[in-house]
Amino acid sequence: MKAELMRGGLGVGLFLALMFGGCSQDEPTEAERKRCFDRYILEHQEEYSVETLKKTAALKCYS
């Protein structure tokens, strides 16, 4: 019975390690964040004021 519990625990541990370790994403570079910011403002410049766009783009691209 003890061996079965240990195998089950190892299986769960392996599953969690693969889930959290294998799905990580690299942080975007500063250049990628800047491109995101500029692209967001260009895409929505006719819909909102520039000040609103800057705040929204900063939250979207730098958070």
> pLDDT tens digits, residue range 26-56?
899 999 999 999 999 999 999 999 999 999 9
If one counts every other C-beta atom within 10 angstroms of the C-beta of residue 57, the result is 20
The 10 Å CB-count burial string (b at 16+, else e) for 3-32 is: eeeeeeeeeeeeeeeeeeeeeeeeeeeeee
pLDDT at 25 (0 to 100) = 72
Q: What is the pTM of this model?
A: 0.59
